[in-house]
Structure 1
Amino acid sequence: MHRLGSGDRLTFRYRAAGLLLLVAHLSVVGWLTLRPRSVPWVPAANLHPLATIRAALAQGPWETAASLGPALLLLAPLGVLLPLATGRLAVRGLGSLTHTVFTGFMVSLAIELLQTDVPGRTLDVDVLLLNTAGVAAAYLLCVRPLRGLVLIRRGPGPRRAAPLPREEGAQGPAPTIPRVGIAP
């Protein structure tokens, strides 16, 4: 697996900025989702996948966007911040996407499970699905352009120095074995 170079200053800056923004984002998400709400009644927990999404889609386009949009956008920045903070921005292929989406899913699951103890909040499996879809969409939309930007700013990869000639020891040069052809 190819990661950005560990000794590169620019890489360190990108990773440090990504980690700082990741911690700030998760702090805001925690504050928004884990503080108690005083509401007159609390709906029952939704454990049926796609039930809330179907109900929102039946309301019309603007109401659908207003009810599903916040769940899609809440954890979407993780799709960019996780690869940036972990140094997986330059990793190509399915590995980085899988890692990012799985981590986003686990963060969303942790938030949903922690909300069960918060007054005024309930578990909704559709929010878990929408949060994960938001992480995947942000990754697919933003990481490839960022990858190009980072690699352009870094320049071409490190050039390897030519191998050093072997030093002759006290016994002289190393013996060479002539190639022998295959007999008929």
Structure 2
Amino acid sequence: MLQTDRRGPAHGTARLVGLALVALHLGFVAWYATLPGDASFMADANLTPLVSIRQNLTDAGLPGLLEIARELLLLAPLGITLPLIGGQLDRPWLGSFVRTLLGGVLLATAAEALRTFSSAHLLNVDDVLLSVTGIALAHLAVVPAGRSYLRRLRDTPEADPETASPRSTGAARVRIVARGDAAARPAREA
């Protein structure tokens, strides 16, 4: 059922699905953040942006690349599910992107704080930057194209069965003509 408010149409089911997906994903992130880490070696806390990323790229080899990929992918689904909570198809892409990014910054910071307080992980600002970058990339890759596709589906006449033309269903229109009418057209119209 389509609901309308002053911001445009919203789909209630999309909001519920979005809330459920965000709750499930954040539950997974909270579980993952509390897993015990490898305490045999711990680097110092990093509050300087891009230092540990540069170190992972140059010195750590494949394990460093996997660490970067893990941080990029950890919160990336939120780039898709956070806009789903709004249920809005007619939002401007920039406003949606900014709202998603700001929410992502808050959630990435909270996840990093939880990891710092509950396991052997020390605070690293690069983990927050990579998580937010993952959220941004997922949002830009899926949400604008998905909303565009859903708007096209919504705006096509075939989407509404009451206004669909007989041609769209493949049914032919037939006109019955009396026998005595010599000027009658053929019985079938295209």
TM-score class normalised by the smaller sequence: 0.7 to 0.9
Do 1:88 and 1:96's aligned partners in 2 also have CA atoms closer than 8 Å?
no
CA distances 1:111-140 after superposition (whole Å, capped 9, x unpaired)? 112223213121110000000111110111
Q: Does 2:148 match 1:144?
A: no
Instruction: Give the match's secondary structure for 2:121.
Output: coil
Q: Is the strand fraction higher in 1 or 2? A: 2
Aligned to 1:85: 85
User: Using a 3 Å threshold, how does the CA distance of structure 1 residues 89 and 106 change in structure 2: closer, same or farther?
Assistant: farther
Structural mapping, 1:119-158, within 5 Å? 119-155=119-155
Instruction: Give the match's secondary structure for 1:5.
Output: strand
* Structure 2 residue ranges without an equivalent (≥5): 158-190
Per-residue deviation, 1:62: 4.0
Higher relative contact order (CA 8 A, sep 6+): 1
AA aligned opposite 2:53: I
**Displaced runs of 4 or more, over 3 A:** 1-4, 35-38, 59-64
Aligned to 1:54: 54
CA distances 1:62-108 after superposition (whole Å, capped 9, x unpaired)? 44431200000111111100000122453113211111001001101
Aligned residues: CA RMSD: 2.4
Do 1:34 and 1:114's aligned partners in 2 also have CA atoms closer than 8 Å?
yes
* Structure 1 residue ranges without an equivalent (≥5): 158-184
Matches of 1:90 and 1:110, distance apart in 2: 30
CA distances 1:33-80 after superposition (whole Å, capped 9, x unpaired)? 123336334322111111111111114774443120000011111110
TM-score, scaled relative to structure 2: 0.71
How many residues align? The count is 153
Aligned to 2:117: 117
Structure 1 vs Structure 2: percent identity of aligned residues? 34
AA aligned opposite 2:37: R
Matches of 2:20 and 2:124, distance apart in 1: 29
Structural mapping, 1:37-76, within 5 Å? 37=37, 39-59=39-59, 62-76=62-76
